[in-house]
Structure 1
Amino acid sequence: MRIAYFINQYPKVSHSFIRREILALERQGIEVQRIALRGWDGELQDNDDIAERSKTRYVLEDGVKGLLKPLLEVLRAQPRRFFSALWLALRMGRRADRSWPYHLIYLAEACRVVQWLQAFGAEHVHAHFGTNSTEVVMLANALGGPPYSFTVHGPEEFDKPQFLHIDEKVRRAAFVAAVSSYGRSQLYRWVAHAHWNKVKVVHCGLEAAFHAGPPVPVPAVPRLVCVGRLCEQKGQLLLLEAAQKLAAQGTAFELVLAGDGEMRAEIETLIARHGLQGQVRITGWISSGQVREELLAARALVLPSFAEGLPVVIMEAMALRRPVLTTYVAGIPELVRPGENGWLFPAGAVQELAAAMADCLGQPDEVLQRMGDAAHQRVLERHDIDTEVAKLASYFTAGA
């Protein structure tokens, strides 16, 4: 079977879960065409991502002007389909998060994509995220391309489903994958009951190579790590407020912020204001291998997110036998069990976050190791990449 993947930006440091999915499909004998809007010139840390870039075709590599030729070719070859897709694009621009000129660009992108899909012989095309990437494959389908599906992660799709026209995208799709039961429930809110059967739960998965090898014992050093983009939804500012409380109480700790992002300057300012320069370190962008090393060097992962889908880094930490401190948000409680493999606290609650951090740091090594072993067992039961991709492949076959 020949499947195409369409992603807004690929490869990308935060999209390792998409790479894992594609490679797992290929291990099952499925040919996969990679198409992305952009990503041909991004800075990459991971050798696997560098290899993926050489396999990916980029819609916007020639700029917007490069879309004119395929648009005219599709218009000339299939005028009725083109004008039907044009009407759909204009409808998608009404009461949308972006104005209608963007949707005309999506149509032009779809004209190039549908030609590549047809040349490859794609029987199905899958997109990640229910935003513009899904609109492009939907328009490509309207232009005569293969059936499509998409994976919804959240939280963006849940924040503005009406402005993203999620209902229309689901109605036209062969199926939709949600990464958690919570995500499925949010789609049920905005999709007619007649289409509920299209919504499947397919977890993001981890390959065995990520957690292969003998277990690494929990380190004695009182270090916690937070992995994620430095942005408002990940809650790093709240984490620093909690860290300041620990410091004021005389609690010994180290905190690593693994990542980078638009809020780095603000975070660095708060670190200095609280006098935490000796206890808090920011890594900047790091590879998936470096993320693994940071997780293994910490006693636990702390992720005080305000909004999420189901973070892959939680799965990674658990697979490496590290407990998790995180919030009662979205699909997280489906994986993290308080007292068994981690701590859960209310989002936005700095006192509860500080208390969880202090409790974790104060636990004997053998307790954290026992929690880490339980975390490892649970994540492997629910998030094995080959198991989850087998589900996905069966849906591709049924929808093609």
Structure 2
Amino acid sequence: MMSAPAPTTVAVVVSHPIQHFAPLYRAVTDRNIDLRVLFLSRAGLDRYYDRGFGAQVRWNSDITAGYRHEFIADLTLRPDWQQPDASRRAAGRVWAALDRLRPECVLIYGYRHAFSLAALAWCRRRHVSALMTSDSELLGGRSAGARIVKRLALPPLLRSVDAFLTIGDNNEAYLAHYGVPRSRMFRVPLTTDEAPLRAALAQRATHRAAIRTELGIDSEALVALFSGKLISRKRPLDIADALRALAREPHGPQDREVVAIMAGDGVLRPALEAAAIELDGALRLVGFADQQRLPRLYAASDLYLHPAQRDPHPLAVKEAVLSGLPVVVSDRVGSVGPTDDVRPGRNGRVYPAGDVTALAGILGELRGSPDLLAEMAQESEKATGDIELAASVDGFLRALAFVRGR
């Protein structure tokens, strides 16, 4: 009788426990992979003050359960240049931990930190395959100096990586721009805890009625949800301005009332509260929504909005699509593309960041077009198979098979 093949040991070097990485770790652990996650910080495990939200935050799910892990340092979440000695020590501990584990492959998150570069150097010195993933894209403006440095430094660095776990179309365009061949890219969409989303969807009518009753929203209103930090980079005030513009436009009897729900907190909340009073019910602020409440808000909504000035690949957009919602985003949101979360002309609409008139125009079109809105929702449902956890696991396994076969 033949024995089962020994599991492949894969080490993961990552800054700290992060909500949208954990589902992948758990899933691949069940696929004959001995996954060992090396954390450099305990940030995110306990209740902490999030400067963006402007509030104490604690994630409900145990993001370190279900996979093997260890904490090899306790860095603060600051740039390396602000903690040079601690960063050097952390890089040394990465090297020592990898020497102890002797993995057959190492997954590295980006190249910004000394500990990430140490992991890549260890792979090259020990002739071990290196995988890399990041959310980098070309949408954000960069100075001429930064572009020159990247053009000179990145191609040789990226050539030392065996394969890349990409998260979407814009991320792949970034890598291709710096010379990475498509043959070394494997799509591994960012993951999320899908079980609460599915549970909420199964009771969509119940949550829709309950949330709308709780917030005093008419059952026939078009509800557009935004979830995130109420900070300038996310441009939540654009939603309030679009609602003002929409209120000034003439509308017919078939046009539904538009109500925006904002789930989140941050420095712009006072300005948004003032706008909500002025808008007389068209804008509702519900504060920070945890992983129990947020899926219910998706289920109660008709549309998701993300007007950010820059957001590489927001998890809320993905969750909205997994919840079957049409999506309207700015052109600075990185999760747009023909095979990504937001597919223009299908499940999504894209407008120039900061163009409130364009945003209001899209809302005006959708409130009077229930058939179009339903078609967009169907397209989001069709996109689910490309972005759900199963697709991420498949991409990870294909990347691993690729590097093992080199």
- Tell me whether the two structures share a fold, i.e. TM-score over 0.5: yes
- TM-score (normalised: structure 1): 0.75
Aligned to 2:268: 266
Matched AA of 2:65? A
Q: Select which of 20, 25, 33 maps to 2:23.
A: 20
Aligned to 1:70: none
Distance 1:376 1:285, change over 3 A: same
Mapped partners of 1:342, 1:208: distance in 2: 21
Return the offset for 1:343.
2.4
Mapped partners of 1:319, 1:111: distance in 2: 40
> Secondary structure, in 3 states, of the residue corresponding to 1:265?
coil
> Is 1:7 matched up with 2:10?
no
Aligned to 1:127: 108
Q: Select which of 252, 260, 279 maps to 1:255.
A: 260
Note the 1:175-194 alignment, pairs <5 A.
175-191=163-179
> Secondary structure, in 3 states, of the residue corresponding to 1:301?
strand
Return the offset for 1:225.
0.7
Mapped partners of 2:307, 2:275: distance in 1: 20
- Alpha-carbon displacement from aligned partner over 1:306-335 (angstroms, at most 9, x marks no partner): 323333322321222211111334441324
Structure 2 residue runs without a partner (length 5+): 1-7, 48-57, 209-218, 251-255
Mapped partners of 1:271, 1:247: distance in 2: 18
Q: Select which of 158, 162, 165 maps to 1:170.
A: 158
- Alpha-carbon displacement from aligned partner over 1:281-317 (angstroms, at most 9, x marks no partner): 4444433332211111111111112323333322321
Distance 1:154 1:370, change over 3 A: same
Return the offset for 1:350.
0.7
> Secondary structure, in 3 states, of the residue corresponding to 1:332?
coil
Residues 224 and 302 in structure 2, CA contact (< 8 A), matched pair in contact too: yes
Aligned to 1:229: 229
Residues 138 and 148 in structure 1, CA contact (< 8 A), matched pair in contact too: yes
CA RMSD in angstroms comes to 3.5
Q: Select which of 297, 311, 314 maps to 2:300.
A: 297
- Alpha-carbon displacement from aligned partner over 1:11-61 (angstroms, at most 9, x marks no partner): 3xxx42x11221221232312222222235542322242636x95423433
Deviates more, 1:368-377 or 1:335-344: 335-344
Structure 1 residue runs without a partner (length 5+): 65-96
Return the offset for 1:367.
4.9
- How many residues are paired up? 355
Note the 1:319-358 alignment, pairs <5 A.
319-329=322-332, 330-334=334-338, 335=340, 336-338=342-344, 340-358=346-364
Matched AA of 1:349? D
Matched AA of 2:12? Y
Distance 1:143 1:339, change over 3 A: closer
Q: Select which of 375, 380, 388 maps to 1:375.
A: 380
> Secondary structure, in 3 states, of the residue corresponding to 1:211?
helix
Note the 1:189-208 alignment, pairs <5 A.
189-191=177-179, 197-205=183-191
Residues 215 and 320 in structure 1, CA contact (< 8 A), matched pair in contact too: no
Aligned to 1:316: 319
Aligned to 2:50: none
Mapped partners of 1:354, 1:201: distance in 2: 34
Identity rate, percent:
16
Deviates more, 1:112-121 or 1:154-163: 154-163
- Alpha-carbon displacement from aligned partner over 1:352-382 (angstroms, at most 9, x marks no partner): 1012123333333x653443122111232x1
Mapped partners of 1:162, 1:131: distance in 2: 17
More helix by share: 1
- Alpha-carbon displacement from aligned partner over 1:132-164 (angstroms, at most 9, x marks no partner): 263342244366484322112135996556667
Return the offset for 1:98.
6.4
Aligned to 2:120: 138
Return the offset for 1:111.
1.6
Mapped partners of 1:147, 1:268: distance in 2: 50
Distance 1:257 1:266, change over 3 A: same
Q: Select which of 129, 133, 136 maps to 1:154.
A: 136
